[in-house]
Amino acid sequence: MSTFKAPKGTYDLTPPDSAKYLAVREALSAPLKNSGYGYIETPGFEDVALFSRGVGESTDIVSKEMYTLTTKGGSELALRPEGTASVLRAALEANLHKLGNLPVKLWYSGSYYRYERPQKGRYRHFSQVGAEAIGAEDPALDAELIILADQAYRTLGLQNFRILLNSLGDKECRPVYRDALQEFLRELDLDDDTRRRIDLNPLRVLDDKRPEVQKQLVGAPVLRDYLCDACKAYHEEVRDLLTAAGVVYEDDEKLVRGLDYYTRTTFEFVHDGLGSQSAVGGGGRYDGLSEMIGGPALPSVGWALGVDRTVLALEAEGIELELPSATSVFAVPLGEEARRVLFAKVTELRRVGVAADFAFGGRGLKGAMKSANRSGARFTVVAGERDLAEGVVQLKDMESGEQQAVALDALVAEVQQKLA
Ligand code: ATP
Ligand code: MG
């Protein structure tokens, strides 16, 4: 071990476990690639004001969890705590909303940073796969995203997750509700921090997980009773489309989520095997965000799924992903001449697309065969001087244990045929 360790609240991904993370990222993004979403990548840091304006000053993310820094040139930057504001910023900057038809559908995958108290499922560096559909107000788009996330989790084999669904209203009806809620909350017995929150972001008080707060919230006004007709109809349509698609969800009128920019549809995917860090993903509609960061009106909807927590959810359900072995052929040379000949064969195999590896480091047969076993390769190719003198190599099927001599010149074709 070196004197250095991964910083607090972070962890490294190393083989063989790292393969599982790659597979999860791939599975979470596969339905998007299949549904018209284009890949977008943005920097790991942005102007801090993008988040304070976009995500909101009153959110925990901005007020407590952001890693901010001042550069030598005096710029105020923040490591990205989430993806939506950056993706929208990039889409506007590239004029994607003017170049083609709306909505602009984008997906991303990357690292996010939040200064949180580290615990299981809550890290300071974590990984998300996200999707944003920018510039269209259409309940089918909200439904599409929820259906695709559901599909992503199901292809991984997950079953014990639930979809919580709510509508947060729009700029017509939410302010009326906000006033009513504030009036209710001001009568309660709450600590100073929470009292401040009543003024800044009263909906977030509903999200308070503490039992002494939750107890007092019984009887609080619920948004559903305040939704305007347009929001009600929109929400009904989203619910109907989900039902028609066979996606089961639960109405959760307390679901508000931690970001200021959400309007109308909000949803969260929670997994029951994860304890208190139960959200594996979440998202919603954010019709006002573009204008908040200086863009035109672009009603949009999106989600972000947590890769780390999805892996924990798989473990909680005891699901082992079937990961194809990374290597198909492992070459074991015996002697100097064989080393050169087999190294050339490995190169040739790789060039035709066969995953191949080689016993490096000049170890003996026993050590090399151990590496071959550990690689998970389906075939081992062994050759010594006597084999080469006869123009053959020994091809061993690691599954059946059968071994046969194959002409050196025919090896690549033979392997390709057996693997097909
Ligand atoms: P939570 O309520 O657990 O704090 P959140 O509402 O802050 O979650 P989002 O901003 O919606 O989370 O991010 C989407 C997903 O990213 C979450 O559902 C979760 O799976 C994951 N996520 C968020 N914060 C962290 C973190 N600190 N460590 C690991 N995963 C995280
Ligand atoms: Mg959080």
135 lines ligand 1 (CB under 6 A): no
Q: Name the residue at shortest CA distance from atom 2 of ligand 1.
A: 279
DSSP-derived secondary structure letter, 328 = S
Spacing, Cα 10 to ligand 2 middle (Å): 16
The residues that bridge with 104 in the sheet, in sequence order, are 134
The alpha carbon of 307 and the centre of ligand 1 are apart by a number of angstroms equal to: 10
Ligand 1 within 6 A of 260 CB?
A: no
pLDDT computed for residue 258 by the predictor: 65
Instruction: Kindly give the interhelix angle for 192-200 and 174-186, rounded to the nearest 10 degrees.
Output: 160
Q: Is the minimum distance from the CB of 65 to ligand 1 under 6 angstroms? A: no
The verdict on the CB of residue 129 being under 6 Å from ligand 1 is no
CA distance 138 to 298: 12
Q: What is the DSSP pairing of strand 300-306 with strand 279-285?
A: antiparallel
Domain boundaries, the chain: 17-173+227-316, 329-419
Rounded CA separation 128/112 (Å): 7
Does the N-terminal peptide bond of residue 81 adopt cis geometry, omega within 30 degrees of 0? no
Would you say 91 and 134 are in contact if contact means Cβ atoms under 8 Å apart?
A: yes
Burial 83-114 (b: 16+ CB within 10 A, else e): bbbbbbbbbbeeebbeeeebbbbbbbbbebbb
What ranges make up the beta strands (E) of 219-278? 250-251, 263-271
**What value, to the nearest 5°, has the Cα angle with vertex 183 and ends 182 and 189?**
85
Average pLDDT for runs of 10 along the chain of length 420 = 94 95 98 98 98 88 95 98 97 95 97 97 98 98 98 98 96 92 94 90 86 92 94 98 98 81 93 94 95 96 98 97 92 96 98 97 90 95 97 96 97 96
Q: Which CATH number fits domain 17-173+227-316: 3.30.465.10, 1.20.1560.10, 3.30.930.10, 2.140.10.10?
A: 3.30.930.10
Tokens coding 60: 């925990």
The closest of 360, 278, 353, 363 to 313, measured between CA atoms, is 278
Which CATH architecture best describes the domain 329-419?
3-Layer(aba) Sandwich (3.40)
Atom of ligand 1 nearest to the CA of 310: 20
Report the residue among 125, 285, 309, 312 best suited for mutation to probe ligand 1: largest number of ligand atoms under 8 A from its CB: 309
The CA–CA distances, whole Å, from 364 to 56, 332, 374 equal 62, 9, 16
- Residue nearest to ligand 1 atom 17, measured at CA: 281
Establish whether residue 281 lines the binding site of ligand 1, counting it when its CB lies within 6 angstroms of any ligand atom.
Answer: yes
Tell me the C-alpha distance between 122 and 339, whole Å: 48
C-beta of 20 in contact with ligand 1 (< 6 A): no
Q: Is the pTM of this model over 0.85?
A: yes
